[in-house]
Amino acid sequence: NLFRKVYTTNPPPWKIGDIIKIIILSLTFGYLFFMLLGLFINILQSAMHTKFTFCRNENFRMIFDTIVLDLIVFLVVLRFLRHYRTRLTDMGLVKENMTKNVLYGICGYVGVIPVIFIIGILVYIILNIAKLKPPPQPIVQLFLVEKNAALILVSSMIASIFGPVIEEIFFRGIMYNAVKRKIGIFWAIFITSVIFSFLHTHAMTYFLVGFIPITILGAVLAYLYEKTGSLIPSITLHVLNNVGSVIMVFLFKYFNYLI
């Protein structure tokens, strides 16, 4: 075994149907929240005879929406854990062997990044030959054009830390465990990685660029979780990957500005 299990979790009780319920409830609560919030803001603006400038800032709205949706997903997950009388520690969010688990995540990052980088270059070459230009992800576009330092800082924290933690709890802690319980380890890694990648790719041209690399990343994240029994390695790898991506975007922005 490449990694030995350093923490053993009890088999999670949730099923594939629970994943569907979590998604439906999260989308429903999110829709209701934004509908009521929009109504409240409109009433408040009418009463004050003014227009709030932040409402017209698309970058602010995107980050705010992301924070709210992530929080809603997290709260719905906590509700399901309570329903099954389980805790976050039961899916591997534990302090035991913290240093070792973080090192596993770092090793995973060092191992997977060259593979993703090479595949990314090959895909870009193919797209250039086909004369297809992939658009940047919305969060990347935000970093490139936004000038508000506070908004950039919050966006960086969400992309680098907050988002990866929530995503690992859902994709590996909930989805992977539920699918594995139904069809086994190999297909659970494959299917959840494909879903993970699909939800991270937006426009068709970006889908062509990002689908394979992100699927590989998702597979490594699931593998780390399966082998260690802890979410800490996958969270560590996910955070490092996103931090590295954010740094690369800022470097591109800086050198492009100098040019």
Judge whether residue 7 has pLDDT over 70.
no
Is 82 exposed, middle or buried, given 0-12, 13-18 or 19+ CB atoms closer than 10 A?
exposed
In a domain, 201, yes or no: yes
Region 15-26 average pLDDT: 93
Report the percentage of the chain scoring pLDDT > 70. Answer: 89
* Other CB atoms within 10 A of residue 192 CB: 25
Residue 7 maps to a domain: no
Number of domains in the chain: 1
Over 80: is that where the pLDDT of 235 sits? yes
Please report which confidence band the pLDDT of residue 257 belongs to, taking 50, 70 and 90 as the band edges.
low
Output 103 or 10, whichever has higher pLDDT: 103
Domain-located, residue 10: no
Distance in angstroms (rounded) separating the CA atoms of residues 110 and 240: 10
142 belongs to a structural domain: yes
Cα 169 to chain centroid distance, Å, stands at: 10
More confident site: 253 or 22: 22
Range of the domain at 233: 16-258
Q: Are 30 and 72 in contact (CB under 8 A)?
A: yes
pLDDT(81) > 50 = yes
In a domain, 11, yes or no: no
CA 177, 182, 183, 187 dihedral sign is negative
DSSP letter string, the chain = --S--SSPPPPP---HHHHHHHHHHHHHHHHHHHHHHHHHHHHHHHHHT---GGGG-HHHHHHHHHHHHHHHHHHHHHHHHHHTT--GGGGT---TTHHHHHHHHHHHHHHHHHHHHHHHHHHHHHHHHTT--PPPPHHHHHHHH---HHHHHHHHHIIIIIHHHHHHIIIIIIIIHHHHHHH-HHHHHHHHHHHHHHHH--SHHHHHHHHHHHHHHHHHHHHHHHHHS-HHHHHHHHHHHHHHHHHHHHHHHHHHHH-
In a domain, 73, yes or no: yes
d(CA 112, CA 135) in angstroms, rounded, equals 24
Summarize pLDDT for 167-208 with one digit per residue, the tens: 999 999 999 999 998 999 999 999 999 999 988 876 555 677
Residues 6 and 229: beta-carbon distance below 8 Å: yes
CA angle, residues 197, 72, 51, in degrees to nearest 5: 105
CA–CA separation, 54 vs 39, rounded Å?
Answer: 16
Residue with tokens 């800086």: 254
Q: Which residue did the predictor score with more confidence, 164 or 150?
A: 164
Residue 203 has a pLDDT of 56
Please check whether residue 2 lies inside any domain of the structure. Answer: no
pLDDT category, 25, cuts 50, 70, 90?
very high
- Given a cut of 80, whether residue 134 has pLDDT beyond it is no
Q: Residue 158 is which amino acid?
A: I
At 92-116, the pLDDT tens digits run 888 888 999 999 999 999 999 999 8
Q: Is residue 5 part of a domain?
A: no
Q: Mean pLDDT across the chain, nearest whole number? A: 85
Q: Supply the pTM of this predicted model.
A: 0.86
Cβ(134)–Cβ(127) below 8 Å: yes
Q: Tell me the mean pLDDT in the region 238-242.
A: 95
Q: What is the mean pLDDT of residues 16-35?
A: 93
